[in-house]
Amino acid sequence: MTFVVTGSNGFIGYNNCRRLVEAGEKVIGVDDLSSGLAEDAVPGVQYHVRSVTEADWLVHLLQEERPRAVIHLAAVPRVAYSVAHPLPSTDVNLMGTLSVLNAIVKAGLVEHTRLVFASSSSVYGGAEVLPTPEIHPCNPQSPYGLAKLQAEHWCALFHRLYGLDVVSLRYFNVFGPLGRFGGAYSTVLPAWLHHLFVAPAYQPFLEGDGEQSRDFCFVGDVVQANIAAATRERGFAAEVFNIGRGAACTLLDLKAAIEEVVGNKPLPLERRPPRVGDVKHTLADISRARTELGFRPGEDFLAELRETAAWYRSQRPAPSAA
Ligand SMILES: NC(=O)c1ccc[n+]([C@@H]2O[C@H](COP(=O)([O-])OP(=O)(O)OC[C@H]3O[C@@H](n4cnc5c(N)ncnc54)[C@H](O)[C@@H]3O)[C@@H](O)[C@H]2O)c1
């Protein structure tokens, strides 16, 4: 089978391409390398350094390749960045998705190609019900979350208008190898591992009391969900699915877990005031994904943290020869 993966050189994209190639599939990667790295390339993948917003080019690519599925991951996925820069963020996160939807239809592939759209738990905003089911009202608190929700609606519209086979997966906090430190916009786990393994001079911090909790989902599980959604025999009618671990971890518990997996090395965090607009808790109700996608997230959080830490350790700059 042929798969197109957009955002192929990013964190989830790299892991997804690797799993597909290992399974013997043909994989076409599309990434403009705006944040992804050319070196994060999986041997065997055919890469195109292009933007998903290049509408005509994308139609042409799909006509040529006739993929069984497009796994659409390309995005500018930083919440804080989207608040500071709503235009470039929304251009990719919303218009880029519309461009992918348009390309499948214009390429004449509605009967042939399924779209798996990478949505986000940020569509919920601060959810009142935990674990949060997909039917929970959505109240995004950032341009990023709003663009993801609007993109889901565009997916649903393309299903209604053209019968497009499309599904949206709302990932919760994804972590794992290749989940790079994102500088000022980084999430806590990559930032803390960056300090421990790559740049000791970087001061890691904790905003608020640390009792806020997140549903941390391993990247291998997200890839499992993407492939299950891309290959399920029965098509989709623009359904949405939560993809998470289905378990919550406070930031203080995460700190303790990281300290344990790195051999009880202390992680000194500078305490900062709570971030304005920060959601206190996230926790996915994954029963729908379990039933309809056969989704089974891993159960050994410490082992997944260990694998992630090992990747960070491998990124440590070599000592200079001088
Ligand atoms: N990582 C998470 O915790 C998380 C959580 C929820 C949803 N998501 C979603 O999952 C998807 C993948 O996230 P990620 O963590 O791998 O992000 P990432 O930033 O690591 O990867 C995104 C990739 O998209 C590429 N890209 C950006 N704009 C592009 C464009 N116009 N055309 C082509 N490529 C472009 C970037 O160069 C990058 O390689 C995103 O849609 C994101 O919103 C991620």
pLDDT for the residue 185: 81
Q: How confident is the model at residue 175 (pLDDT cuts 50, 70, 90)?
A: very high
Question: Looking at the predicted structure, is the pLDDT value of residue 66 above 90?
Answer: yes
Q: Are 127 and 136 in contact (CB under 8 A)?
A: yes
- pLDDT tens, residue by residue, 279-308: 899 999 999 999 999 999 999 999 999 999
What is the whole-number distance in angstroms between the Cα of residue 92 and the centre of ligand 1? 10
- Virtual torsion, Cα 80, 129, 300, 197, nearest 10 deg: 20
pLDDT for the residue 186: 87
Q: Dmax over Cα atoms in the chain, in whole Å? A: 64
Question: Looking at the predicted structure, is the pLDDT value of residue 250 above 50?
Answer: yes
pLDDT for the residue 322: 47
Whole-number Å distance between alpha carbons of 208 and 117? 33
Q: Mean per-residue pLDDT for 224-236?
A: 98
Instruction: Look at strands 213-214 and 249-250 and give their pairing.
Output: antiparallel
Q: Mean per-residue pLDDT for 166-186?
A: 94
Q: Are 175 and 160 in contact (CB under 8 A)?
A: no
Whole-number Å distance between alpha carbons of 187 and 15? 19
Question: Looking at the predicted structure, is the pLDDT value of residue 276 above 90?
Answer: no
What is the whole-number distance in angstroms between the Cα of residue 149 and the centre of ligand 1? 16
Whole-number Å distance between alpha carbons of 296 and 298? 7
Answer whether the bond into residue 131 is a cis peptide, omega within 30°.
yes
What is the whole-number distance in angstroms between the Cα of residue 221 and the centre of ligand 1? 16
pLDDT for the residue 279: 86
**219 CA: nearest ligand 1 atom:** 1
Q: Are 276 and 126 in contact (CB under 8 A)?
A: no
pLDDT for the residue 317: 81
Q: What domains are defined for the chain?
A: 2-175+218-243 (3.40.50.720), 183-214+247-314 (3.90.25.10)
- pLDDT tens, residue by residue, 77-136: 988 899 999 999 999 999 999 999 999 999 999 999 999 999 999 999 999 999 999 999
Averaged confidence pLDDT in the chain: 96
Whole-number Å distance between alpha carbons of 130 and 38? 39
DSSP 8-state assignment for residue 281 = B
Binding-site residues, ligand 1, Cβ < 6 A: 6-7, 9-13, 30-36, 51-53, 73-77, 92, 96, 118, 120, 171, 173-174
pLDDT for the residue 320: 65
pLDDT for the residue 264: 86
Answer whether the bond into residue 88 is a cis peptide, omega within 30°.
no
